[in-house]
Structure 1
Amino acid sequence: MNSEAVLDDYLEQLLGEAVPVAATVAACAPAPAEIDAPKIDPPGREPTWDDLPDEVIYETGEDTAALLVHADSPSLQAAFEAAAEPATVDVAAAPVLPPRTSSRTASVPIDEAVGPATTWRELQEQARNPAHSPPRRAAERSTRWLRLRCGSQAYALELLKVQEVVLPVPLLPLRGTAPAMLGIMNLRGQVVPVMDLGIHLGGAPVDEDAQTRIVVLEEHGEIMGLRVSAVEDVTNLGESQIEPPDTARICRISNDIFRGVARLQQQPMILLDATRLLA
């Protein structure tokens, strides 16, 4: 065999091994059009939201995530639920201490809390033993009296029976009446008989001057005017200040009209019974 033939065979052998490799590489290399074309899934599989990357799923907001939920994507639904749940951190609960009670408040006795100790104890003692309660002084009944004068003698009439006090007015005399009856007067359309209190009590008649007044009495519809020398003021008299009318001095005058005697500044004042005067 000549050298040329051997060389040719060797080159053919080398070329035969290189051509299949190049053909294989050429067959596997994509065409230029295929490189730019988008990837198309096989027609037998429908794309789902599971094909999205995880970072896209977790970076989606809550409003958008609610729209991305798909019925055929359980893994996406689980990812949305996990992303929506807030992170929970286990924090040890702080121990709750019981409220502190002040020893000062607990030690305050009930007597001091309610009021003065002496007053509270007295009230409790009176409630337990009403019979041993300190005796109370009964309120003395007092009445108001109108002080007046007939001459130099002081008198008084119970203010409850006095309707008013007026100045003297002209009187219309009446025939066939007692000497003490002076006549009648017109008091705002009402006929009022007027009597001289001095004569009626057995004394001197009342002289008419600037201080003379007519005291109008009224009780149960009965009305009477008394002419007196002067009207002084109103005073309060307690029961203890009124002496009973069974003294010798009062009995010599009358027992029916006088109710008693009261002393003001050591001066005796005869109390008259208005009911008897109106009878």
Structure 2
Amino acid sequence: MDPGQRWRTGAGACRMIPAAALDDYLDELLVLAPADEHKPIEQAPLPVAPTPAPPRLAPMPPRTPVQPAPIPIPRIAAAPAASLEPEEPVSSHSHRRAADRSSRWLRLRCANQAYGLELLKVQEVVLATPLLPLRGTPPAMLGVMNLRGQVVPVMDLGVHLGQAAQPGTGATRIVVLEEKGETLGLRVSAVEDVVNLTDHQIEPPDSNRAGRIHSDLFRGIARQSAEPVILLDASQLLVPTGAAAH
């Protein structure tokens, strides 16, 4: 059947073709239709705009290290060299200070002669006490005494200095010396007082006087009053203590 003859048109009217004829017409369309008509329509990919490349940055110039500004250092003027010759005011001041230095001395007596012992070396002064004699000792060594449990050798100071032995009286005392662990008791006729002596009050040893006593025991003479006081070196008196004790 001619497909162009299925629909008949007349003057202002339309006539439908029978149903059997319409089915045949549809079957022909299916047979004649190309196979590509039944494939899904593939959509063309949308055009993608190209991504612009990032702008290229110009290379930075190399950094020049910043040198710190130098700190100005003040120049210190050198001190003038000290003069080798002392000035007059300093010298007089030094002499004045030497004259002001003083020391304390214990004034005691052996028979009629006054003596002095530096107070720093005196441990204490005690009453005369019975002594235990020692054999084979010098005449001046009287013996040993018990001083609160300590054995202390006792020497007659007057006899040691060349005087005659003096009898004991109520004023007799024993002066205990101590230095560097060594102790020694000195029997004297009396203990008078403590005096302060400056350096200019102590005269150098007298050769005539030193000839009558041991020169190494003689520190000088203090003429603080009309009667001169012979100053003795306590350290020298303590020297023979160890030999006497052993």
Q: Which runs of 5+ in 1 are unaligned?
A: 1-130
Structural mapping, 1:239-278, within 5 Å: 239-278=199-238
Change (3 A) 1:252 1:133: closer
Which one has a larger percent helix, Structure 1 or Structure 2?
1
Residues 176 and 265 (structure 1 numbering): CA distance in 2 closer, same or farther, change over 3 Å? same
TM superposition outliers: structure 1 runs of 4+ over 6 Å: 131-134
* Structure 2 SS opposite 1:169: coil
Q: Residues of 2 paired with 1:264 and 1:207: CA distance?
A: 29
Distance in structure 1 (CA, Å) of the matches to 2:215 and 2:89: 43
Aligned to 1:231: 191
Whether the 8 Å contact between 1:245 and 1:251 is mirrored in structure 2 is no
TM alignment of 1:12-161, pairs within 5 A: 136=93, 137-138=96-97, 140-161=100-121
Candidates 163, 167, 172, aligned match of 1:212? 172
1:197 touches 1:206 (CA, 8 Å); kept in 2?
no
Aligned to 1:191: 151
Listed as ranges, the matches of 1:163-202 within 5 Å are 163-202=123-162
* Distance in 2 separating the partners of 1:133 and 1:148: 40
State the distance in 1 between where 2:89 and 2:137 align: 62
Q: Distance in 2 between matches of 1:167 and 1:204?
A: 21
Q: CA deviation at 1:263?
A: 1.0
Tell me: higher relative CO, structure 1 or 2? Use CA pairs within 8 A at least 6 residues apart.
2
* Distance in 1 separating the partners of 2:89 and 2:229: 40
3-state SS of the aligned residue for 1:217?
strand
Query: Quick one: which amino acid aligns to residue 97 of structure 2?
Result: A
Residue 57 (structure 1) aligns with: none
Query: Offset at 1:223?
Result: 0.3
Aligned residues: 149
CA distance in 2, matches of 1:175, 1:133: 62
Identity of aligned residues (%): 68
Gaps of 5+ in 2: 1-86, 240-246
RMSD: 1.7
How much does 1:166 deviate? 0.1
Deviation at 1:204, TM superposition (A): 1.1
Letter in 1 for 2:227: Q
Structure 1 residues 138, 205: closer, same or farther in 2, change over 3 A? same
The 8 Å contact of residues 243 and 260 in structure 1, kept in 2 or not, is answered as yes
- Residue by residue, what CA displacement relative to the aligned partner does 1:34-79 show, whole Å, maximum 9, x if unpaired? xxxxxxxxxxxxxxxxxxxxxxxxxxxxxxxxxxxxxxxxxxxxxx
Normalising by the residue count of structure 2, what TM-score does the alignment of the two structures yield?
A: 0.58
Q: Deviations over 1:52-110 (max 9, x none)?
A: xxxxxxxxxxxxxxxxxxxxxxxxxxxxxxxxxxxxxxxxxxxxxxxxxxxxxxxxxxx
Tell me the CA shift for residue 264 of structure 1. 2.4
The residue that corresponds to 1:28 in the other structure is none
**Contact kept in structure 1, 2:217 and 2:237, CA below 8 Å:** yes
CA spacing shift, 1:132–1:237, aligned 2, 3 Å: closer
> What secondary structure sits across from 2:205 in the alignment?
coil
Shift of 1:250: 2.1
Q: Counterpart of 1:202 in 2: which secondary structure?
A: coil
**In structure 1, distance between residues paired with 2:89 and 2:114:** 44
Given the two structures, how large is their TM-score scaled by the length of structure 1? Answer: 0.51
| Alignment partner, residue 65 of structure 2 | none
SS in 1 for 2:136: coil
Question: C-alpha displacement at 1:248, in angstroms?
Answer: 1.9
